Amino acid sequence: MRSATQRLELKPERLDVGEFSRQPISIASRSFVADVSGALYWPAEDALIVADLHLEKGSFFASRGSLLPPYDTAATLERLAATLDAYSASTVICLGDSFHDGRAEERMSARDRETLAILQEDRTWIWLNGNHDPKIAACFGGRVLSEITVSGITFRHEPTASPVTHEIAAHLHPAARVSYHGHVIRRPCFVANGNRLVMPAFGTYAGGLNVLDDAFAPLFGNDGLSVLVLGQEGLYPIAARLLKED
């Protein structure tokens, strides 16, 4: 028998559940769509943004004797393919730590390389460097940059360590621990304040850092947090009063 925590499915506090796989979100007066996959779609630029894929993390740990199954790359690329099918974006921006380490190209299977190449066909594909992948092998295609500004919004891997606006970043793998109807769950989330956004990690083995951790305070200060949690059935806004520390 599964425990109560295992049975819990995060649902919104409203009577009509409807379709919650997507939620609108505004950053610096620009309109985006947050997706339950953890991706962000920008309709005005026809761009899909993803963060912290950490491809080949499983094989990295497997090569060091860990029991972590080395199949995360295939699972992550499959989810990314499904999200791209849903939005048909002409541009993809990967916000750094797309690869878990500098030797990922040596371990990635031919099948996964082919899948990635297919996803890149007829699209502008931009890799931003992260702390895990300060260099990205040419065999992975695309354009490699440290950061990029599009229509006034700056995309980078690590968020700027002071209150700024017009920024979408990654790196911190935000997650929310939520108290809901007497139960507590912990899920990845988008965290924003209307001026900047930190995205959840898209990678299968990426993990997460509680949004109430001190690491988020220099980014959002006392401006308040807008949190969209990736639930089991959809993507839901969660009131700050429901957030719990680890």
Topology classification of domain 4-238:
Purple Acid Phosphatase; chain A, domain 2 (3.60.21)
**CB-based burial of residue 61 (10 Å sphere; 0-12 exposed, 13-18 middle, 19+ buried)?**
middle
What does pTM read for this prediction? 0.89
- Give the closest residue to 72 by CA, choosing from 84, 61, 57, 82: 57
* Partners of 5 in the β-ladder: none
Q: Residue 152 corresponds to which amino acid? A: G
Does residue 20 carry a pLDDT above 80? yes
Is the separation of the CB atoms in 51 and 200 below 8 Å?
yes
Least confident span in 49-53, 119-123, 140-144, 159-163: 159-163
- Give the closest residue to 17 by CA, choosing from 9, 6, 7, 25: 9
Does residue 15 carry a pLDDT above 60? no
Residue 44's pLDDT band (boundaries 50, 70, 90)? very high
Residue 65's pLDDT band (boundaries 50, 70, 90)? low
Does residue 55 carry a pLDDT above 80? yes
Distance CA 150, CA 87 (A): 19
Dihedral class, residue 84 (left if φ above 0, else alpha if ψ from -120 to 50, else beta): alpha
pLDDT at 19: 66
Return the domain boundaries, the chain: 4-238
pLDDT at 198: 98
pLDDT at 179: 79
If you ran DSSP here, which 8-state letter would residue 129 be given? P
Q: How far is CA 238 from the centre of its chain?
A: 17
Instruction: Calculate the alpha carbon distances from 43 to 97, 116, 152, 169, 188 in Å.
Output: 24, 23, 15, 18, 23
Least confident span in 12-16, 36-40, 110-114, 223-227: 12-16
What does the pLDDT average to over 113-130? 97
For residue range 80-90, list pLDDT tens digits in order: 999 999 999 99
